Structure 1
Amino acid sequence: MEFIVYILFSQTKNRYYIGFTSNIQERIIRHNQKSKGFTGNVNDWKIVYTEKYDSKEEAHKRELQIKSWKSRVKIQDLIDKSIS
């Protein structure tokens, strides 16, 4: 099974969300269903970055690493480097 670390962006919130999943299509649908939680009150989340991992442990470790940065500039830099 493959695991994906992902970064979402909401234009409405002007914020990023970092997570990981084994089913990215299902996960983005759930993020956009206006439910409780950080992503729940808007439904314009778009995937702006992904990384693939072979194990859940590796993906979770990377998710926590990116979240620990607490820096929009550093996250934006990661996204920009993946585009160029």
Structure 2
Amino acid sequence: MHFLYILHSQTINRYYIGESINPENRLLQHNTHHYKSNYTKATSYWKIILTHSCQNKQDALYLERFIKRMKSKKFIEKIIANPSILNDILLRK
């Protein structure tokens, strides 16, 4: 099973979207700057706002890319408020 996850940093008031088989471990990597050139290196205070389980990695990647292509903070906040949007996106692919 794979997960789409959304992180939020209150420090910089930004969201980060990613996918992983273990979102908790991935959060630790983001907060400890495991990957030096990562977008999340801007702060060490990321918090998981949403995790959404997907049947496979392809679905998780599809959702991640779809959300990132939208380039919209409002869209991300809509998803957080109503995660069923993610199922609708997958049904339309």
Alpha carbons 2:23, 2:51 under 8 Å: kept: no
**RMSD over aligned Cα atoms:** 1.2
Secondary structure of residue in 1 paired with 2:12: coil
Question: Where do 5+ consecutive residues of structure 1 fail to align?
Answer: none
Q: Which structure: greater helix fraction?
A: 2
Query: Superposition pairs for residues 36-55 of structure 1, below 5 Å?
Result: 36=36, 37-55=38-56
Residue type of the alignment partner of 1:48:
I
Question: Where do 5+ consecutive residues of structure 2 fail to align?
Answer: 84-93
State the match for 1:56 in structure 2: 57
State the match for 2:5 in structure 1: 6
Alpha carbons 1:34, 1:41 under 8 Å: kept: no
TM-score (norm 1): 0.88
TM-score (norm 2): 0.80
Alpha carbons 2:5, 2:48 under 8 Å: kept: yes
State the match for 1:27 in structure 2: 26
Secondary structure of residue in 2 paired with 1:48: strand
Q: How many residues align?
A: 81
